Structure 1
Amino acid sequence: MLTFFRINSIFQVITLLVILFLLRFPYMGNALPLLTTELEWMLVGEKLNEGLSLYSGVLTQVGPLSAFFYRMMDLWFGKNQFMYETVAAILVLIQTLYFVFIVNRRNLLTEKNYIPGLFYLILMSCSFDFLKLSPILLSQIFMLIALNVALRQIEKRDGVGDDVFETGLFIGIATLFYLPSFVFIFWAILVLFLYTGINIRQMFMVILAFLLPIFFTYLFFYFNNLADDFLHIWLFNFANAFSLTLLGIRDIIITYSLPVALSILGIIRIFRMPRYNNFQNRAHQLLIIFGIFSFISLFLSQNFAPANLMFLVPFLAFFIAGFFVHYKKTFAPEVLSLAFFVVILFITYFGAKPSFGPKLLVLEKNRIEEEPFSDKYANKRIFVTGEHIYAYKNAKMATGYLSWKLAKNDFKNPNNYLSLVNIYANFKKDMPEVIFDKERVMPKILKNIPELADKYTSPEKNVYVLKK
């Protein structure tokens, strides 16, 4: 397999497409578990297409450009899990080919080949949540472009050009898709300072270019009277940004132990090679620093999940490729690479399926739970309190209380006048036909808002139905 990908031709592109299809084939037809976050992305698009305003009418911490993308997805496909995963696969293929372009165009290895692309493609399937159309996946392509621009600046022999601002610009765009991407502006400043002759004016250009897309997005919300919501709900809301759990740590270890181990061996092999020039050595160090900042971005994410460490994949793919490219024996690299491929497939498949019992499931707490009342009240406009929102899969969501982390600020304070005003306003605009009260917060809310209480009856425990 490695021998074939050492050849630099169009046939390798076709083969990568075939491998991508084979990697995704076992999960076609809604075979993958639906995640709570995934359903939230679908609902963001649905509510925006109903005319609600982002961050004001729709409470979510999904980035503005990701929200717009999900709006287009809902407009074209609705809540179709298969189409979301198909678009995700297309984006992964584009990223893989672009990563190969970066490695070969910048001569980061001693030979031009498709081996880095092969491992990039494999690693982008190392956990089943990588197969989802997540904000970080949408952000990743712009991070790869920023990575290429930074490498281009280091490669220049005549000094840094004014086009260095592109590094900050693409990181700024990536941030609008996925907020933790902003940490890479510090990576850009650091590596440009260490490995180029960048001056103060050019450094300010990078920072201003990073702020420019965010500023224009702020202006858009400002002129729509939504600036405060944009700032407090999304841009500066880090209170709910990180949730560290033992299960999350276990999932990260299961997913990344083997790739990280091989990448460390790759680093050792590459830095022992005497054939690399000064630029290549600096480029390798840049990638290592990129990997470090990937871990920092994980700790700023909303969910401690394997896919939220996706920014680590370029680092892993390159150094794993370096490990195999510089492996001197003939058959051992082929056997080891095939074994690596099989192990990744094993981890992905059995992390998604309960074949070895629930203790081996990846993202066990993030999966959508079956809602016992969902079939009975299918196709109605419903509202669910709490994190698990399976009922929305086969029903329309009422109100804009999408993220419970944000919504509970109102529902957990039933004696706060402003909270009651917000709840009443949201319900009046989009009255739920059915309320599933998993958090048991509605009794106090209805007690303090008699007008709402008069509209509902409770035929079952923790279920409220709108009177006809």
Structure 2
Amino acid sequence: MLDDHTLTLPELNYMLVGEMLNDGATLYEGIWDNIAPLSASVYMVIDFLFGRSQLAYQVIALILVAFQCLVFNRLLLLNKAYNENTYIPGLVYGLLMSFFFDFLTLTPVLMGTTFLLLALNNIFNHIEFRAKQDEMILNIGLYLGIAYLFYLPNIIFGIAALLVFGIFTGTVARRYVLMLFGFSLPMMLAACYFLLKGRFTSFIYNFLDPLLNYEVEQYMSLQEIFILFSVPILLLILALVRVSQRARFTNYQVRLTQVMFVWIIFSVGFVFLSGVFAPNTFMVFVPSAAFFLSHYLLLIKKRWMAEIAFQVLFVSVILFNLGTFFDFFYSAKLLSYDNYLVQREDGWADKRILVLDYDMAPYINAYPATPFLNWQLSEELFRNPEYYDNLTILERGFSGDIPEVIIDTHDVMSPVFKRLPALKAKYDKRDGNIYYLKKG
């Protein structure tokens, strides 16, 4: 599975962003995309070191998942979330993070989850000790702020933290202000950076606006998602029923279970806020699911029954991940992810091209030209060239980096060419709605 035959369309997008940044393009002005700034920086570094290497993404993701397992298990041990010291939570966390192949690649969701876990550790400490250290409260806000600079929908967990503080702690008003300051500081620093660079308007349009004004990217249907995660969902329901009995729980442990239940609720909000129906989006449920499933396994009195429950989870990982991919389990017939994987197109190898569509597969062996990488953000420009501002942006984009091939899937270049006759004269239209740059 560690090869580019499992390259997904979002992964290709991340690689293109890193490549364009290394070629000197500026984020949000030289690249029209809604990727978060810290994620874009990471992809730029990876492209500088490894180029378009999916293997690099996968290896770094494996290391990051291993680190998250350690962090998750450690925070539960230190905060005495269970009645015994155990490494079961880390094991369950690792299994759940292996449930589908796109969990084990470097996505913004994965990077942001790391900082959500660090924030969760401080939240647990604050609930247990009513911590007086102001820096701990500040760190909660900072970790959450860094998380949404990796993936903007993580911003919803700032609301979750405020809710947890209000319900489960007696935090004074001053510390709420301190946490809000830490939460907003990363955004303020990012905004100041783009303001000083003269790209503040582009920052708002590309990064912030899509949070509420977006089109759903549905790589898999909701029904397919439920089929894929059917076993963890079933076990989670059983775990919630068992944990709700609060068998042998201290008051502190009860509060922790309530906090993790709040996490589940806000994770649902996270999925709908992201607008991306792909398996790795549901990675946000892994910490809460691992927490409750570990409780469930530890509360089963008969160890052989606990072993059976664990083996069911373990075998389901193999069947739904490898079985779906290699087509030896029935899930392969129920799940379709052809629209999620990049279908190789070698017709434009080594050319600089512009794809006016959501399907970015033609870029697989080609190079992106012009800033208009994200069709969702740039579609309005091409469909409304009669507006002066739109036409100015288009003319500037093409003059700075003219593509050798324009793949006009939605037939939007005709009205653009009417208003930019000098640009039209440079192209021949062939093969349907594909324009080729004239030689000479």
TM bracket, shorter-chain basis:
over 0.9
The equivalent of 2:3 in structure 1 is: 29
Q: Is the 8 A contact 1:61 1:234 kept in 2?
A: yes
Aligned to 2:136: 163
- Distance change >3 Å, CA 236–CA 299, structure 1 → 2: same
Instruction: State the AA in 2 paired with 1:294.
Output: S
Aligned to 2:362: 391
Aligned pairs (5 A) from 1:186-201: 186-201=159-174
CA distance in 2, matches of 1:358, 1:260: 19
Could you say which residue in structure 1 is the equivalent of 2:24? 51
Match of 2:313 in 1: 340
Q: Check the 8 A contact 1:221/1:227 in 2, yes or no.
A: yes
Moved more, 325-334 or 80-89: 325-334
CA distance in 2, matches of 1:276, 1:160: 27
CA shift for structure 1 position 158:
6.3
* Match in the other structure for 2:421: 450
- Within 1, Cα distance between the matches of 2:217 and 2:295? 33
How far off is 1:241 after superposition? 3.2
Aligned to 1:249: 222
* Superposition map of 1:8-157 within 5 A: 27-32=1-6, 34-156=7-129
2:68 maps to amino acid: Q
Counterpart in 2 of 1:217?
190
Q: CA deviation at 1:31?
A: 4.2
* Alignment match, 2:335: 361
Aligned pair partner of 1:205 in 136, 155, 178 = 178
Conserved in 2, the CA contact under 8 Å of 1:36 and 1:387?
no
Amino acid in structure 2 at the alignment position of 1:29: D
CA drift at 1:62: 0.6
Confirm or deny that 1:275 pairs with 2:272: no
Q: CA deviation at 1:461?
A: 2.2
Q: Bigger shift: 95-104 or 328-337?
A: 328-337
Query: Which SS does the other structure have where 1:435 is aligned?
Result: strand
Greater CA deviation, 141-150 or 344-353? 344-353
Give distance in 1, aligned partners of 2:91 and 2:64: 15
Q: Does 2:415 correspond to 1:441?
A: no
Aligned residue in 2 for 1:182: 155
Q: Secondary structure at the match of 2:221?
A: helix
Shift of 1:159: 5.6
Question: C-alpha displacement at 1:166, in angstroms?
Answer: 1.3
What is the alpha-carbon distance in structure 2 between the residues aligned to residue 101 and residue 431 of structure 1?
52
Report the secondary structure of 1:110's partner residue. coil
Asked if structure 2 preserves the Cα contact closer than 8 Å seen for 1:399 and 1:427, the reply is: yes
Q: Distance in 2 between matches of 1:376 and 1:244?
A: 26
1:82-131: per-residue Cα shift (whole Å, max 9, x none)?
A: 11111111111110111110111111011111111111111112222212
What letter matches 1:30 in structure 2? D
Whether 1:309 aligns to 2:272 is no
The RMSD of aligned alpha carbons is 2.0
The normalised TM-score by structure 2 is: 0.94
Q: Residues 236 and 385 (structure 1 numbering): CA distance in 2 closer, same or farther, change over 3 Å?
A: closer
- CA–CA distance in 2 between the matches of 1:258 and 1:358? 16
Aligned to 1:17: none
Q: Distance in 1 between matches of 2:404 and 2:394?
A: 15
Q: 8 Å contact 2:108–2:150 — kept in the other structure?
A: yes
Residue 66 of structure 1 aligns to a residue in which SS? helix
- Correspondence for 1:413 among 374, 381, 384: 384
The 8 Å contact of residues 240 and 302 in structure 1, kept in 2 or not, is answered as: no
CA contact (8 A) 2:325 2:332 kept: no
Which sits farther off after the overlay, 129-138 or 64-73? 129-138
Match of 1:294 in 2: 267
Partner of 1:391, secondary structure, is helix
Shift, 1:423, TM fit: 1.4
Q: Is 1:429 aligned to residue 400 of structure 2? A: yes
Change (3 A) 1:357 1:382: farther
Matches of 1:37 and 1:353, distance apart in 2: 22
Cα distance change of structure 1 residues 218 and 425 upon mapping to structure 2, 3 Å threshold: same
Alpha-carbon distance, 1:245 to partner:
5.3
Structure 1: how far apart are the matches of 2:50 and 2:120? Answer: 32
Q: 1:436 to 1:57 in 2, by over 3 A?
A: same
Deviations 1:309-362 (A, max 9, x none): 212111101111111111111322222311221112211224445666975335
Distance (whole Å) between structure 2 residues aligned to residue 324 and residue 221 of structure 1 = 49
CA positional deviation for 1:265: 1.8
Contact (CA 8 Å) 2:98, 2:104: kept in 1 or not?
A: yes
Q: For this pair of structures, how many residues does the alignment match?
A: 438
Unmatched runs of 5 consecutive residues or more in structure 1: 1-26
Question: What amino acid sits opposite 1:415 in the alignment?
Answer: E
The answer as to whether partners of 1:160 and 1:196 remain within 8 angstroms in 2 is: no
Instruction: Measure the CA separation in 1 of the matches of 2:71 and 2:291.
Output: 13
Which runs of 5 or more residues in structure 2 are unaligned? none
Structure 1 residues 220 and 158: CA distance shift in structure 2, 3 A:
closer
% identical aligned pairs: 35
- Asked if the contact 1:251–1:363 (Cα under 8 Å) also holds between the matched residues in 2, the reply is no
